[in-house]
Structure 1
Amino acid sequence: MSQAGQLLKGQSGLPVDNPTKSYWHRETSEKLIGHRTTKELPRSADVVIVGSGITGSFAAHFLKEKRPDLNIVMLEAREACWGATGRNGGHCQPAIYAAEAHIASFELRNFSYLKNLVEEFSIPCDWRSTSGVHAFYSASLFAVVRNEVRHLADEYPDLAANVAVVTKGDDDDGKGLSGTPSYLLEGERRELTLEGLRVPHAEGAVVQWNAASLWPYKLVAFVLERLLAANGGDGGGSFNLQTNTPATGLSTSSPPANLSSPGGSNSNNNSNSSSPIWTVHTPRGTVSAPKVLLATNGYTSHLLPSFSDLIVPTQGQVSALKPPEEPATPSDPPLDIGHTYYIMGEPDNAMERDDYLVQRPPPSAELIYGGGRRHAKGRGVGVWDDSAVDESVAWYLRGELGSVLDLSLHGKTGGKQTAKKQDLEPTYEWTGIMGYSRDGHPWVGPVPASLGGGGDDGGLYVCAGYTGHGMPNAVLSAKAAVDMMYDGEGAEIDLPPEYELTEERVAAARGVDEVVVVDAKGSLYADFGVAGGL
């Protein structure tokens, strides 16, 4: 594309206007398609949010909870929730054993918040709580994982209660980490074998009890529609969504002497009167505000070129596949794999595979399978264009699943069919852009002046860079960003310190290998291979 010649190494372009068709966009919100709350772009606001995915939508939600009087403008380059959240694998699962304990706890809180929210408001997003199976096809990788779970059981038993290790046969390490933990019911004990989990050829597996599949676009659409429905309420503020309005640039200036509040709310917004005013440029004009949040994930470096080596756009790919067998009669149930899956490692390369799988509910029962980046040119690192699928990856996703998972109708209940290679028929194949972080953690907080921001009280914030692991991180990360905006210095913020955007962290991140180098060695998300998937 013509933009590419103007970009720095690693920098993202704008979201393209002809992306591949995601499965999750097959049913869209009539209220959100083409939505512009006002015909003209507002000239000012209290807060501008760039991006309408899970981060941006929940940031607006938390802002309105904290300050109903705020005037918020949200800018989206394409349709609402048309980026990574609307293109991911449809799963939400915290990394219990594959992260530091405090990060695992944060992700578990994020998962619980979402689960409770869906239940409280009966959000029609097909949330299905299930267990997550992490199947390992490398003996060396599984050995490392077992040690990690053993350490978790020794040091953090409350977290370890969310995890079980499943081994071959009667292989037991004496610490309750075999395939039949004593606290399970008899039926659960029979199922908790590699065969019962449909991964008979794996070297071993880890099962996490907190996992879910969902329709991510519908979750975000509910949040955005609820924010729009609240306009005109008693809070005095507003929520203005402007789709098909790409943010093309940022500029800053000192506030006019007579400026009390750009959005019209006259209450204290925790901004110093000398703090800069940020102007977001779009093809339809500009909008100015004392606070701007970039919820732009893989596209962050387009507005902040200084992030080109910190958050690198990376293309992921997903396919919706028809199950290989039809039920014998229309009244018989379709294939039900019973879990969500991560599929990791190969016998000769521990870090080579990081695939992920969920299943749609009946009657379609489609298998949503993502991964295969090792077959993409350059593993997709540095790619910000999601207008086409990679045929090599598409071929892999169609043909690989049957070789690692027993897809027979009766596999779960004791069928003897074994996994085999077979081409599955796709109904949708699509790509999306992830934001891969140089140190593997999201970046949350005010942008330092050295990176193009205004420092701690400078009004420009980022919440991005999830490395393909956004669903169990984005919501509470967005809340932390909002708390940083309005709770003031010294407030207690619920956020792992590794996620905080600081000068010291930037320097440390730039002291390690670049994303493209680390990713070429295998999964960037964790040293021992829990997948970072779209």
Structure 2
Amino acid sequence: MVMYVPNEPNDFLLGHRTTEELPSEADVVIVGSGITGASAARFLLEDKRAKGLEIVMLEAREVCWGATGRNGGHCQPLLVDSTPDVALFEIRNWETIRDFIELHHVPCEWRVVEACRTYWSQALADEVSQRVAHFIVTEPELASRIKLERDQVKLRRAHRVNGAPIATLTTNAASLWPYKLITNIIEKLIQGDGINLQTQTPVTSIESCGTPTSSARWRLHTSRGSITARHVILATNGYTSHLLPEFSDLIVPERGELSALLPPKNSTRLPNSYGFVGANDGMPHHDDYLNQRPFSGVPNPAGHLMFGGGKASATMEHLATTDDSVIDEGEARYLRRELLHLLDLDGETEGLQELKATHEWSGIWGTSRDHAPWVGAVPQRKGVWLAGGYTGHGMPNGTLCGRAVVEMLLGEESGAPQDYVEEKLVRTGNLPQSYIISEERIARARELDTVQEQEAKGWRGPEKPTYLRT
């Protein structure tokens, strides 16, 4: 068992309870304190329509102790692997995060980089080439942000890549320390008397409590008592089905693994953030990712290589589990060894068989059955809002998904029709149509293979990739 603790925890937020007792009621209760929950709270408080609303945030553990705090800070919009509207939405998320960090001078190791996404089979290379060629004709603005690199010498000299047949180089990527960003946001919201945070307060169930004499619609039961609210925002991602059993087949918890690795002695910092698709004969839906922390200017300047993935070498079941206290030694071994083959790390590498991990841990994300996040009003539960199911890709999605549910919630508060608010979000590029929750979408998703069946077949989502077709 691995006890996860951030390397540099936020002392103000550890064990924080804004009030000693759990409030008995609120206008809005946000469940979860990761990137989605923090963003929802921030955008609520920035909106004049929310003035006077009592907002309570409930966190089962410590602030940002789940997937957001456990990922490696890989904020890379996927421009080739997504539909154009999703790609542009992810870029907008990236820009929103960048602008906030720069405006508020958030010390979270933010570094703008060029993303180098590598593809490790010729079939994948052909597929990527075809998609980019299609974008050049149909989506020139998006295509202008993508460069294909097939020259092996250039890939190695400029980007340290060792043997991939092709890579995409894209702008609008960054590395950061997500825990520091989110805790900075939440601490400032509390100190500005904006939210009441209650840590170590797991929600065990939600039930309807609407009565003719009460404006409250929902009662949330916790380990410390209950709280009622008109609106509930579930920023619970991989833990969603615990509170919404009807979503248990739509958002499936999945465990991923990450290592903080010491680079070879006397090595230099990598120029990019990286994605490794199909490396080590792995299936493409289990890509690995890499960022590198600074060598100077931070409390622990070791240039840690934050390397995540390794599913091709897994020895444990990773689907339908919420246990993030274990390490899969097969994945951990892969992460310690594989970078020495995938990249030219320079420095003293002769005879080096694996890198030393200073920390190894796992985290739980929510995998979506139709491969798109679920954002919006929960059917048959008026006043309950959901944003989650990012399928391991929450950093360039969660910020504006959090804002989208706030727009929907405040739209309802002001009497605006739900479909009008949704249509405006889509039309303005602030939420892809494919993300919106509806009963029709739920029915379509349930016509697909289950997440477990998709895993067994080697792809995720509604359509079999071209490189796997016969």
**Residue type at the aligned position of 2:439:** E
2:201 maps to 1:249: no
Residue 294 of structure 1: aligned partner: 234
The equivalent of 1:380 in structure 2 is: 318
TM-superposed CA distance for 1:524, in Å, is 3.0
In the TM superposition, 1:123-522 aligns within 5 A as: 123-168=106-151, 192-231=154-193, 238-257=194-213, 259=214, 277-324=217-264, 326-327=265-266, 334-346=267-279, 351=284, 354-362=287-295, 363-377=301-315, 380-409=318-347, 422-449=353-380, 453=381, 458-487=382-411, 488-489=416-417, 490-491=420-421, 492-493=424-425, 494-522=430-458
Distance 1:308 1:200, change over 3 A: same
Partner of 1:63: 44
Q: 1:527 to 1:162 in 2, by over 3 A?
A: farther
Superimposed CA distance per residue, residues 261-289 of structure 1 (whole angstroms, 9 cap, x where no aligned partner): x6xxxxxxxxxxxxxx1000001000000
- Cα displacement (A) at 1:194: 4.0
CA contact (8 A) 1:345 1:354 kept: yes
Structure 1 residues 340 and 199: alpha-carbon distance in aligned structure 2, compared to 1, 3 A threshold: same
2:74 paired residue number: 91
1:372 aligned partner, one-letter code: G
Deviations 1:173-216 (A, max 9, x none): xxxxxxxxxxxxxxxxxx95344211131111111111100000
Any idea what the Cα deviations from partners look like across 1:274-307, whole Å, max 9, x if unmatched? xxx1000001000000100110000000011111
Report how far residue 527 of structure 1 moved.
6.2
Whichever residue aligns with residue 251 of structure 1, its letter is: E
Query: Which residue does 1:53 correspond to in 2?
Result: 34
Q: For the aligned residues, what is the CA RMSD?
A: 2.2
Secondary structure of the residue aligned to 1:475 is: helix
Distance 1:368 1:211, change over 3 A: same
Structure with the larger helix share = 2
Alpha-carbon displacement from aligned partner over 1:75-113 (angstroms, at most 9, x marks no partner): 000000000001112110111121111111111111101
C-alpha separation in 1, matches of 2:139 and 2:38: 33
CA distance in 2, matches of 1:69, 1:516: 45
Q: Distance in 1 between matches of 2:367 and 2:286?
A: 17
Corresponding residue SS for 2:26: coil
After superposition, give the CA deviation of every residue in 1:132-184 in whole Å (9 maximum; x if it has no partner): 11111111111101111111111111111111000036xxxxxxxxxxxxxxx
**Residues 417-467 of structure 1 deviation map (CA, whole Å, 9 limit, x = unaligned):** 99x972110000000001000000000111112xxx2xxxx1011111000
Residues 376 and 348 of structure 1: is their aligned pair in 2 closer, same or farther, counting only changes over 3 Å?
Answer: closer
Q: What's the CA shift for 1:349? A: 6.0
User: Which stretch shows the higher mean deviation, 59-68 or 120-129?
Assistant: 59-68
Deviation for aligned residue 1:343? 0.7
Determine which of 10, 17, 29 is the counterpart of 1:29: 10
Inter-CA distance 143–421: structure 2 relative to 1 (3 Å threshold): farther
How far apart are the structure 2 equivalents of 1:353 and 1:432?
15
Measured after TM superposition, the shift of residue 123 of structure 1 is 0.7
* 345-354 or 435-444: bigger deviation: 345-354
Secondary structure of the residue that 1:298 maps to in structure 2? helix
Q: Distance in 2 between matches of 1:228 and 1:446?
A: 27
For 2:85 and 2:16, the matched residues in 1 are separated by: 39
Q: Which residues in structure 2 correspond to 1:72-111 (within 5 Å)?
A: 72-111=55-94
- What is the CA–CA distance in structure 2 between the aligned matches of 1:107 and 1:242, rounded to whole Å? 31
CA shift, 1:379, in A, is 5.0
Q: In the alignment, which of 78, 95, 101 is matched to residue 112 of structure 1?
A: 95
Is contact 2:162-2:341 (8 Å) kept?
Answer: no
Change in CA separation of 1:353 and 1:42 when aligned onto 2, cut-off 3 Å: closer
Distance 2:223 2:159 in 1: 52
How much does 1:70 deviate?
Answer: 1.1
- Structure ID, larger Rg: 1
Amino acid at match of 2:150: T
Distance of 2:2 and 2:327 partners within structure 1:
10
User: What letter matches 1:370 in structure 2?
Assistant: G
| Distance change in 2, residues 1:200/1:439 (3 Å) | same
Structure 2 distance, partners of 1:73, 1:511, is 37
SS at structure 1 position matched to 2:61: coil
Q: Distance in 2 between matches of 1:69 and 1:352?
A: 44
Distance 2:200 2:54 in 1: 20
Contact 1:315/1:434 (<8 A) preserved: yes
- Structure 1 contact 141–528 (Cα < 8 Å) conserved: no
Aligned CA distance change for structure 1 residues 150 and 501 (closer, same or farther; 3 Å): same
Q: Is the 8 A contact 1:359 1:367 kept in 2?
A: yes
Q: Mind listing any 5+ residue stretches in structure 1 that lack a counterpart?
A: 1-17, 170-190, 232-237, 263-276, 328-333, 411-416, 530-534
Equivalent residues, number = 447
Q: 1:441 to 1:251 in 2, by over 3 A?
A: same
* 1:199–1:92 CA distance, 2 compared to 1 (3 A): same
Q: Give the Cα separation in 1 of the matches to 2:222 and 2:286.
A: 40
Number of the residue aligned with 1:270: none
TM-score, L = length of structure 2: 0.91
Aligned-partner SS, 2:270: coil
Q: Could you tell me which amino acid in structure 2 is paired with residue 395 of structure 1? A: R
How far has the Cα of 1:64 moved from its partner?
A: 0.9
